[in-house]
Structure 1
């Protein structure tokens, strides 16, 4: 079971006390999107921020992020989780295969990343059904991310890896989540 859980993923993650407050096991609550049950924008932001700190401190995988632009990574990870869980976002980043091409990510590193995600979700008291649903959404990305069939961790980022360029400061400041008035306008259409 643990192996199955570890095979689920992402560089990616979600939520906390804000989230635990939004989650409920009542049948009416189950009709809400995962985004709503997780606690929405604030909860996703909190979880992704914690997850990123955890990953960057983890020697099993942090070398793979040595050339990454942190604001860009956080921006797109929040946007991706928001969109994947039924939130109001539209993911505008690179597909997973393109984003991770030539990084040399191993099965072991992928599993370490999932362990870090689960640890973050547990820290924020995300209920198991929501964790499982999120991991199930992210699991198909494994085949697009892992390039090396090895249990090794802590492998260096290949010297010739070229990271994505930083996002414009204006875009970073605007944030990955649609503004509330933009959401209302889309709802009226």
Structure 2
């Protein structure tokens, strides 16, 4: 519910939802679930602009995850791994207008347990966010190279969430259509 609220509503409300879940489960859940809740709190906080609290929550997410798996971890929490935490950190940095930090986290995610094959939709979404970080740094060639990879992977996937993110990226790139790499990407993805 917090994801929907911070994506489409008031991120402060999303923070409240995650805090409620954290309070309700503090003594009754596994470190993996606590890690997931810290990561979700971080994403919500990134959308409110609270850098300090966001990074603190991400540190807590890493700490809880490092406590290891438990036999009673719910099956719905299996998606969380160190790579996913770093991808969420990168997305948070992007929301906080820190594209260099975003790229650092996206790169770290590729070096830990991030499985693009198992989560193709999320991988395309994160590639699109990586392209946005390059765009924010005015590295149009890198932005278009990553965007092309994301577009190519999404053509076989055909998922609406990454497609929407690619559409948004296309709109952001359109003002740079005089640059060959941008023009080529816009033609490819038209």
- TM-score normalized by the length of structure 1: 0.26
Structure with bigger gyration radius:
2
Q: Which has the higher contact order (CA 8 A, sep 6+)?
A: 1
Higher normalized helix content (fraction of residues): 2
With normalisation by structure 2, the TM-score equals 0.26
